[in-house]
């Protein structure tokens, strides 16, 4: 978009925030007044999905605008070559810097092990690691870690001394610096939260009564007829026999940390208002991926393509440009499409490698370069991570989800009758036609994206249904 007064950007990306854990998205208990405000004043995307439900691959796709198979960051381990972006890929941040933007970054990076954001056009970078030194300098005790991955109360701080509040403070400082510069800006805050373990100060640690939290719709999934690795995950985490009474306090702290995050978002929005910048700023809220947090009885996000981890919140607000109170049900590949959107809105040169679409063409076509055709389906990728190699590819349309597990049983879910994805119908003769159709569709996409996982041996699984 070309304009005499270029748009500013405020981009907030959380880590492992489930789509359904926002009050405005229908959660019955959680309090998220500031995210709800963004939903009321902007557009929320109800069918946004991550490129990969793992931090590094998803974040690298956001920066480069391409799928993990292209950028090469395919897992979370800090191992070469999977921890460094492949050479020759341009990022939207470099394009915006060249277009005259001031770029500031606060928080989690986890894109390229060898280079930080300042190597990709950002002028200022405040890493999350700086919080530990700040906390120590304030005479505050270290973050407790007595309950491991399952979280606990942080008794040594107030909410104003939390890492989330510290990050919001840093972002507001960069906002004030950008105003003094008099340049269009792109400010980005990536939180580690609400990724477990949730070590949360009061009153947020006790904001939600575990006894009042209903189980996820998929809790109690017997995992019958599903890939063995899902049952193995229960054993790998030591949670095979956990009841909802054991999960509920963990979920309560997860929700509490989301409410603490929401409060800090409110502080940033208030600062934007006080500086008179709200009308000129595109605000974006999203997450790199979701979190199981007890869904299907499992923890974290590995080896599954359930909506719990693949679907993400995506909210855009730009007063006067993006309609208020709108819900867009277009299929969105959140990170990849945001990369293209940033360049279009900024009027910056879009790298030729980008494969995403401009989100504003659907919700505010007058602000985009051209209208984009809405996708009939969406895709997601996964590569083996810390529990062992196990690769997956997913295609999902309005009703059906197909998950290709190359070394285990395939999965097919009828989302119209089974939104919790409890019944795997991949071997049901009544759904054989849908299975074959989605396998053909996935094969075409793999060929289109030059996915190296496709070869003479794996191809037979999709072309011929050569699966056990």
pLDDT of residue 384: 79
Give the domain extent around 197.
8-375
As given in the structure block, the two tokens for residue 8 are 């500013």
**Among residues 343, 375, 407, which one ends one of the domains?**
375
Answer yes or no: is 48 within a domain: yes
Answer yes or no: is 384 within a domain: no
Q: Say whether both 453 and 308 belong to one domain.
A: no
Q: What CATH number does the domain containing 92 carry?
A: 3.40.720.10
Q: Say whether both 354 and 403 belong to one domain.
A: no
Q: Say whether both 439 and 409 belong to one domain.
A: yes
pLDDT of residue 77: 75
Q: Say whether both 132 and 187 belong to one domain.
A: yes
Q: Say whether both 371 and 427 belong to one domain.
A: no
pLDDT of residue 80: 63
Please say if the pLDDT value at position 434 is more than 70: yes
- Beta strand 152-153 with 378-382 is unpaired
pLDDT confidence band for 84 (50 / 70 / 90): confident
CA distance 99 to 294: 45
pLDDT of residue 373: 82
The label of the residue with tokens 């659907």 reads: 362
As given in the structure block, the two tokens for residue 122 are 């950002």
Q: Say whether both 198 and 247 belong to one domain.
A: yes
Answer yes or no: is 2 within a domain: no
Q: Say whether both 100 and 247 belong to one domain.
A: yes
- Average pLDDT score over residue span 434-462: 96
CB atoms within 10 A of CB 450: 10
Please say if the pLDDT value at position 121 is more than 50: yes
Q: Say whether both 254 and 205 belong to one domain.
A: yes
What are 355-381's pLDDT values in tens digits? 999 999 999 877 555 667 899 999 999
Please say if the pLDDT value at position 351 is more than 50: yes
Q: Say whether both 428 and 306 belong to one domain.
A: no
pLDDT confidence band for 79 (50 / 70 / 90): low
What are 150-174's pLDDT values in tens digits? 999 999 999 999 999 999 999 999 9
- Average pLDDT score over residue span 294-307: 97
What are 89-110's pLDDT values in tens digits? 999 999 999 999 999 999 999 9
Answer yes or no: is 22 within a domain: yes
CA trace torsion 425, 427, 430, 432 (10° rounding): 100
Answer yes or no: is 390 within a domain: no
- Helix, strand, or coil (residue 110): coil
Taking a C-beta distance cutoff of 8 angstroms, is the pair 167, 134 a contact?
Answer: no
DSSP per residue over 193-208, as a string?
A: EESSS-EE-TTGGGSS
Calculate what percentage of the chain has a pLDDT beyond 70: 97
- Average pLDDT score over residue span 20-25: 98
pLDDT of residue 1: 41
Answer yes or no: is 283 within a domain: yes
Domain count across the chain = 2
* Distance (Å) of CA 367 to CA 3, 282, 374: 10, 12, 17
Instruction: Give the closest residue to 12 by CA, choosing from 172, 277, 190.
Output: 190
Q: Say whether both 255 and 404 belong to one domain.
A: no
Q: Say whether both 236 and 369 belong to one domain.
A: yes
Which residues are CB-neighbours of 440 under 8 A, at least 6 positions away?
Answer: 462
- Helix, strand, or coil (residue 162): coil
pLDDT of residue 468: 79
pLDDT of residue 75: 85
Please say if the pLDDT value at position 393 is more than 70: yes
What are 399-420's pLDDT values in tens digits? 999 999 999 999 999 999 999 9
Please say if the pLDDT value at position 2 is more than 50: no
What are 174-194's pLDDT values in tens digits? 999 999 999 999 999 999 999
Q: What are phi and psi of 103, to 5 degrees?
A: -120, 125
Answer yes or no: is 223 within a domain: yes
CA distance 285 to 316: 7
Identify any residues that bridge with 187 across adjacent strands, giving them in sequence order.
Answer: 10, 104
Answer yes or no: is 178 within a domain: yes
Q: What CATH number does the domain containing 403 carry?
A: 3.30.1120
Q: Say whether both 371 and 409 belong to one domain.
A: no
**Among residues 311, 344, 375, which one ends one of the domains?**
375
Please say if the pLDDT value at position 147 is more than 50: yes
């Amino acid at each position: 978009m070309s304009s005499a007064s270029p748009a500013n950007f405020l981009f907030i990306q959380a880590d492992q925030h489930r789509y359904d854990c926002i009050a405005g998205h229908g959660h019955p208990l959680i309090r998220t007044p500031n995210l709800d405000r963004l939903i009321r004043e902007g557009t929320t995307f109800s069918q946004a999905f991550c490129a990969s439900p793992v931090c590094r691959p998803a974040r690298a796709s956001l920066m480069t605008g391409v799928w993990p198979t292209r950028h090469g960051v395919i897992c979370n381990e800090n191992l070469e070559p999977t921890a460094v972006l492949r050479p020759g890929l341009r990022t939207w941040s470099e394009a915006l810097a060249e277009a005259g933007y001031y770029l500031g970054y606060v928080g989690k990076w986890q894109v390229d092990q060898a280079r930080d954001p300042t190597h990709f056009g950002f002028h200022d970078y405040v890493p999350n690691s700086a919080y530990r030194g700040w906390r120590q300098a304030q005479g505050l005790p270290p973050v407790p870690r007595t309950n491991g991955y399952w979280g606990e109360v942080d008794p040594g701080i107030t909410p104003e001394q939390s890492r989330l509040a510290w990050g919001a403070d840093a972002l507001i400082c960069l906002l004030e610096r950008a105003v003094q510069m008099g340049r269009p800006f792109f400010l980005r805050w990536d939180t580690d939260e609400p990724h477990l373990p949730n070590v949360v100060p009061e009153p947020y640690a006790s904001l939600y009564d575990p006894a009042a939290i209903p189980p996820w719709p998929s809790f109690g999934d017997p995992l019958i007829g599903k890939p063995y690795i899902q049952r193995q995950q229960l054993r790998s985490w030591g949670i095979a026999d956990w009841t909802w009474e054991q999960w509920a306090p963990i979920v309560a702290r997860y929700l509490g940390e989301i409410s603490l995050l929401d409060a800090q978002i409110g502080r940033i929005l208030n600062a934007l208002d006080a500086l008179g910048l709200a009308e000129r700023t595109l605000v974006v809220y999203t997450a790199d991926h979701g979190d199981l947090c007890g869904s299907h009885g499992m923890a974290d996000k590995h080896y599954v393509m359930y909506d719990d981890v693949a679907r993400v919140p995506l909210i855009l607000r730009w007063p006067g440009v993006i309609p208020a109170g709108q819900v867009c049900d277009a299929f969105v590949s959140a990170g990849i499409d945001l990369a293209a959107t940033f360049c279009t809105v900024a009027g910056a040169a879009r790298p030729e490698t980008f494969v995403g679409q401009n989100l504003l063409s659907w919700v505010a076509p007058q602000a985009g370069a051209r209208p984009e055709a809405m996708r009939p389906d969406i895709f997601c990728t996964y590569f083996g991570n810390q529990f062992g190699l196990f690769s997956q590819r997913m295609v999902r349309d309005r009703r059906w989800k197909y998950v290709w597990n190359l070394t285990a049983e395939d999965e097919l879910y009828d989302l119209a009758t089974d939104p919790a994805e409890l019944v795997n119908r991949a071997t049901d003769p009544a759904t054989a036609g849908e299975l074959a159709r989605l396998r053909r569709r996935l094969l075409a996409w793999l060929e289109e994206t030059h996915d190296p996982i496709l070869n003479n041996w794996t191809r037979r699984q999709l072309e011929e249904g050569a699966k056990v």
